[in-house]
Structure 1
């Protein structure tokens, strides 16, 4: 459920084989410890059918706030956090319809 103006962001990561715990911990650490102006809330999930897949569903005040955060994350060493992943995190910016 999004309020007018807010966006929902789906973040999807996939751990390298044998790195599932490290990927999970890196995701949680990144979400819980960095400053995120404009973040309304975040909920993290593990895929029951794929032990290496993790998701975060975040609500942001607007797309600009999310994009600013991603620029800051890239500048502050996000590459180190994604070393345990098969590929870069996938993100989808969503808005409710209907």
Structure 2
């Protein structure tokens, strides 16, 4: 459960054919090894029906922390990690409803 001030983000990546394991390793490595000020939690998933599709659901303290992380990632080597992907990672900021 998140409080009203946190931000939940869905990150979706799709591996190039034959590079599914490399994409899995890159995703986990990026999440586990880089400093992410403001990251509350991250859970990673693989699509059971598409072994090349990976997702991370992250909770951030606020939108500013997530935006700062994305700027830092773009400036510091995200392009190397995305070489095994069919397309750039997709990020979606989610808001609870109801």
TM over 0.5: yes
Q: Which runs of 4+ in 1 moved over 6 A?
A: none
Q: Following the alignment from structure 1 to structure 2, what is the Cα–Cα distance between the partners of residues 84 and 6?
A: 31
CA shift, 1:80, in A, is: 0.3
Matched, 1:2 2:8: no
Residue correspondences, number: 98
Task: Give the Cα–Cα distance (whole angstroms) in 2 for the partners of residues 50 and 59 of structure 1.
Answer: 24
Aligned to 1:94: 94
Q: Tell me, in whole angstroms, the C-alpha distance in 2 between the residues paired with 1:10 and 1:65.
A: 15
TM-score by length of 2: 0.98
Q: Match of 1:27?
A: 27
Question: 1:50-96: per-residue Cα shift (whole Å, max 9, x none)?
Answer: 01000000000011100000000111110000000000000000111
The structure where strand makes up a greater share of residues is: 2
Q: Is the 8 A contact 1:14 1:86 kept in 2?
A: yes
Asked if the contact 1:10–1:56 (Cα under 8 Å) also holds between the matched residues in 2, the reply is yes
Residue 56 of structure 1 is matched in structure 2 by 56
Q: Tell me, what secondary structure is at the counterpart of 1:92?
A: strand
Gaps of 5+ in 1: none
TM-score (structure 1 length as normaliser): 0.98
